[in-house]
């Protein structure tokens, strides 16, 4: 879910916490893991930290996975083809 929301662009930790319904502590732990895997990058503006996808390649992979597993139109097309 975190990575899916970052497909929409750079997002602050506070905003991400609301979007994924996680407390900031748990979210920060998940974001640290994603950062260690080089899937996300950060930018600090005063006390606010912003996250974004680390590369175009990460974005393409997520878009592909979204299209296969999350896109309602893709699911409908798969069901019709059965």
The average confidence (pLDDT) of the chain is: 88
Mean pLDDT, rounded, for 39-66: 95
The residue written with tokens 């999350």 in the block is: 70
* Mean of pLDDT values over 36-49: 96
pTM for the complete prediction? 0.79
Residue 79 above 90 pLDDT?
no
Domains detected in the chain: 2-77 (1.10.10.10)
pLDDT tens figures, 19-35: 999 999 999 999 999 99
């Amino acid at each position: 879910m975190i990575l899916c929301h970052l497909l929409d662009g750079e997002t602050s930790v506070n905003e991400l916490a609301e979007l994924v319904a996680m407390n900031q502590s748990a979210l920060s732990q998940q974001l640290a893991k994603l950062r260690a895997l080089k899937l996300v990058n950060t930018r600090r503006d005063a006390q606010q930290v912003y996250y974004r996808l680390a590369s175009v390649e990460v974005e393409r992979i997520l878009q592909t996975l979204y299209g296969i597993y999350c896109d309602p139109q893709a699911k409908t097309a798969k069901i019709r083809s059965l």
